[in-house]
Amino acid sequence: MNQNRAAIRYAKATLDFAIEKKAADAVENDMRDIASVVAESKELQNLLESPIVKGEVKKNALLEVFKNANEITKGLITTLTDNRRIGMLREVAYKYIILHEKLKGEDVAYVTTAVPLTADLEKKMLAEVNKITGNKVTIQNKIDESIIGGFVLRVGDLQYDASIANKLNNLKREFTNSL
């Protein structure tokens, strides 16, 4: 099973349990914390991906970092560690957020750009994404200079890549295939 499908299954199971315990919003806040902390900390990413560090050490480190998290979130960390899937924690957090927002009738559009979006551009993009999805959408702008220009838009499972880096890669592939 690929990691994306596994992450969705862990996220769904966690969401179902959180809804049952009436803690879905609290767990979503934890998942947002996890996603941002892991994304911002290269050391934490290296720890999670390291095959050398024992699972118990990873679990203890994460439980210490997220000691104020809900018990359901701590249980997810323990379960992922026990199943040797702790490396996908950030992906599970993203999937949980997406699933919970869909349940609430909201979507988050992740827009990756080389420079920050202007307010006017963000408003135009928001209007287009609202038309496409039919749901209430909020935009989260990520800055990634490696895309050179353009943007990458991700809403749920849909992704539209209009980045210069992607276009250059496609052009390079066409030249390579035509030789």
User: Which tokens go with 134?
Assistant: 């039919």
Q: Please say whether the beta carbons of 145 and 159 come within 8 A.
A: no
pLDDT digits (tens, 9 = 90+) for 79-107: 999 999 998 998 999 899 888 888 887 77
pLDDT digits (tens, 9 = 90+) for 30-87: 999 998 888 888 888 888 888 898 989 999 999 999 999 999 999 999 999 999 999 8
pLDDT digits (tens, 9 = 90+) for 138-164: 888 888 888 999 999 988 778 889 999
Q: Which long-range contacts (CB under 8 A, 24 or more apart) does 13-21 make?
A: 14/72, 14/73, 14/76, 14/92, 14/96, 15/96, 15/99, 15/100, 15/103, 17/72, 17/75, 18/70, 18/72, 19/103, 21/72
pLDDT digits (tens, 9 = 90+) for 115-130: 988 889 989 988 888 8
Q: Which one, of 41, 55, 141, 155, lies nearest residue 106 by Cα?
A: 155
**Would you tell me which CATH number, out of the four given (1.10.520.20, 3.30.43.10, 1.10.760.10, 3.10.20.90), belongs to the domain 3-101?**
1.10.520.20
Percentage of the chain beyond pLDDT 70 is 99
- Would you state the pLDDT for residue 2? 67
pTM of the model: 0.66
The one-character DSSP state at 173 is H
Bigger pLDDT: 24 vs 179: 24
Matching CATH topology for 3-101 and 106-178?
no
Q: Give the start-to-end residue ranges of the domains of the chain.
A: 3-101, 106-178
The CATH fold assigned to 106-178 is Glutaredoxin (3.40.30)
Indicate if the pLDDT at residue 1 is higher than 70: no
- Would you state the pLDDT for residue 92? 93
